């Protein structure tokens, strides 16, 4: 499988962000990618106006995704990103969507909300309540995660035990004390401890670190983006996964049961 990471700074205008996403889809397809991963919250963002995620939120059949779905028709490129969708209580859901050939083939509502480092995502966003599905891309099984999810190893382990060979992580990783180190450490750990590839794509710009990367199943970074806008390609090798899992059979050697969501 060939993956592409489309890293950019999200603006406050959804039309501008849609144009950028469509351009990245075009370039990823021309580059032979099977999977394009974009950042978290690509519909609209403004550091000076945190309520914009609510004011700009659109349903899944709204104009933003309608444009991207139209662009996706007629080819087999799978594109993944997260967008904010209106929901009850005057809040939004942070929904990771997978688009292919004019359809939304999967959707995952972010489980772990970023109530940390003096921020509180739950003020404007409701959490999801369902384990994300696996998506088949180019014959490989892809598990879905979003940003802060990477700090909770149970989700990555659950996806690996469900059959994931690749984990995707659209993100808007905020700058802060030791945050770049956390990003590289956590994404590498989730890949290595589950012998999966990790495709972690971060928003760049004045608030976020960028630094998108692909980590292989033995913890090796095989592709990295800088702090600025970029489109970076990498090859995912099923034989590398088989080799890692024969050398390091942690999924077979584990003593704990498969993680389950807490009932509320």
Selecting among 21, 147, 196, 204, the annotated active-site residue is 147
Using alpha carbons, select from 220, 203, 179, 235 the residue that is nearest to residue 38: 203
Q: Which helix (H) or strand (E) holds 200?
A: strand 197-202
Neighbours of 102 (CB within 10 A): 13
Among the listed residues 21, 40, 165, 203, the single catalytic one is 40
Of 21, 71, 109, 110, the catalytic one is 110
Q: Does residue 204 carry a catalytic annotation? A: no
Strands 125-126 and 91-100: parallel
55 carries an active-site annotation: no
247-253, Cβ contacts within 8 angstroms, sequence gap of 24 or more: 247/218, 248/195, 248/218, 250/193, 250/194, 250/195, 251/160, 251/161, 251/194, 251/195
82 and 40 in contact (C-beta within 8 Å)? yes
List the catalytic residues: 40, 110, 147
């Amino acid at each position: 499988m060939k993956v592409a990471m489309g890293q950019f700074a999200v603006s406050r205008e959804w039309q501008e962000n849609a144009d950028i996403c469509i351009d990245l889809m075009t370039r990823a397809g021309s580059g032979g990618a099977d999977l394009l991963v974009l950042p978290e919250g690509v519909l609209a963002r403004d550091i000076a106006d945190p309520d914009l995620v609510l004011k700009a939120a659109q349903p899944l059949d709204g104009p933003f995704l309608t444009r991207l779905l139209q662009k996706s028709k007629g080819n087999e490129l799978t594109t993944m990103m997260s967008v904010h969708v209106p929901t009850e209580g005057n809040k939004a859901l942070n929904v990771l969507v997978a688009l292919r050939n004019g359809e939304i083939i999967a959707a995952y509502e972010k489980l772990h909300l970023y109530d940390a480092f003096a921020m509180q995502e739950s003020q404007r966003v409701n959490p999801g309540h369902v384990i994300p599905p696996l998506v088949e891309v180019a014959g490989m099984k892809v598990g879905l995660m979003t940003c802060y999810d990477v700090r909770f190893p149970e989700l990555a382990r659950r996806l690996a035990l469900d059959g994931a060979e690749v984990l995707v992580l659209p993100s808007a990783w905020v700058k802060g004390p030791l945050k770049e180190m956390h990003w590289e450490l956590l994404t590498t750990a989730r890949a290595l401890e589950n012998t999966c590839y990790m495709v972690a794509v971060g928003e760049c710009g004045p608030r976020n670190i960028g630094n998108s990367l692909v980590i292989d199943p033995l913890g090796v970074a095989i592709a990295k983006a800088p702090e600025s806008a970029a489109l970076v390609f990498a090859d995912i090798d099923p034989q590398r996964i088989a080799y890692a899992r024969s050398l390091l059979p942690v999924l077979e050697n584990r003593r704990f049961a498969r993680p389950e969501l807490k009932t509320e």
